[in-house]
Amino acid sequence: MTEIRYLAPRTLEDAVSAFAAAQGAASGTARILAGGTDLLVQMRAGVVQPGTIIDIKKIEEVTAITEQPDGSFVIGAAVSGATLHDHPRFGKVWPGVLEAVNLIGSKQVQGRASPGGNLCNASPAGDSVPAMIAAGAVVTVQGPNGRRTLPVEKVPAGPGRTTLTPGEILVSFTLPARPAGSGDAYLRMIPRTEMDIAVVGCGVNLTMAGGKVTAARVGLGAVAPVPLLVEDAAKALIGSTLDEAALEAAAAACRAACNPINDKRGTIAYRTKVAGVLLKRTAAIAAERAGRK
């Protein structure tokens, strides 16, 4: 039997140094444990066999939700979906991000699953990631060389891989302050109604004024090796009244951005088609939430 070292540091500094040390050691890989809803499943399936597990849930900063004076939100990487759901304000400001985070797993899984884990698991189909991309979230990471920030879409590098460097730990997501007339939404296509994984996921974040879109961001999941920021779709929406021509142009941009695979969960043709369908439906909900002003 392989032995596993379990560490639960109370500070980020301790976590980073333990993580860097364990990754450097010859005794196998080290893994960060947030909710564990991916890690523990992968360990049981024999997919990963970490020598060291570093539980970050005892670190205050990675489990906190803070609404800053400027209206931005800082969400700790290990905040659970259920905790985020129960926050009195977050869901009112970012309903799309919240519904995406709340789609990670079942009710039971929500008690543990976190947006940080969802991002760092680096599945192309992670539900929260396209919504975070649409929201323009910026992540803070801390490593042996200190802190840095980067846009959320820069974290995934490919299926199961991130751009984080050895010893780096995801600390938090910062979601920007909301101008008036903003709304976001997330939709995913799953064949079942529950207990399933996104075949395509789409996040849309809009700001509207005078019936026109003044700002837009679009994130797509499960259609490429990494979740995508679709800037061409956003461009097609900005300045429009979300008329059919603009929506179709944005949908076409989404389809063009797709680089999916044929697999057991969907075909290339199906995923590409659905990316466009979901863009239109998600944009309609986001616009409704923005008040279509």
Please identify which residue in 3, 194, 243, 244 interacts with other proteins, judged by CB under 8 A. Answer: 194
Which one of the spans 51-59, 136-144, 191-199, 201-209 is the region binding other proteins (CB under 8 A)?
191-199
Helix (H) / strand (E) element for 149: namely strand 146-151
Strand partners, 139: 150, 173
d(CA 87, CA 144): 32
Q: Is 1 in the site for other proteins (CB under 8 A)?
A: yes
CB of 197 to other proteins, least distance (A): 6
* 183: helix, strand or coil: strand
CB of 280 to other proteins, least distance (A): 9
Q: Is 199 in the site for other proteins (CB under 8 A)?
A: yes
CA atoms within 13 A on the CB side of 112: 15
Q: Is 196 in the site for other proteins (CB under 8 A)?
A: yes
Please identify which residue in 48, 82, 197, 238 interacts with other proteins, judged by CB under 8 A. Answer: 197
- In the block, tokens 């949908």 appear at 251
Q: What letter would DSSP give residue 178? A: P
CB of 181 to other proteins, least distance (A): 26
- In the block, tokens 């797993």 appear at 105
CB of 255 to other proteins, least distance (A): 13
Q: How many of the chain's residues bind other proteins (CB under 8 A)? A: 20
Please identify which residue in 69, 146, 191, 210 interacts with other proteins, judged by CB under 8 A. Answer: 191
CB crowding 240-264: b at 16 or more within 10 Å, else e: bebeeebbebbbbbbbebbebeeee
d(CA 10, CA 77): 15
**119 with 152: CB under 8 angstroms?**
yes
Which one of the spans 6-14, 72-80, 140-148, 185-193 is the region binding other proteins (CB under 8 A)?
185-193
Site for other proteins in 249-278 (CB under 8 A): 263-267, 269-270, 273-274, 277
Please identify which residue in 155, 185, 189, 208 interacts with other proteins, judged by CB under 8 A. Answer: 189
CB of 59 to other proteins, least distance (A): 31
d(CA 190, CA 224): 17
Cβ closer to other proteins: 124 or 167? 124
Cβ closer to other proteins: 86 or 263? 263
**61 with 172: CB under 8 angstroms?**
yes
Residues found near other proteins in the complex (CB under 8 A): 1, 189, 191-197, 199, 263-267, 269-270, 273-274, 277
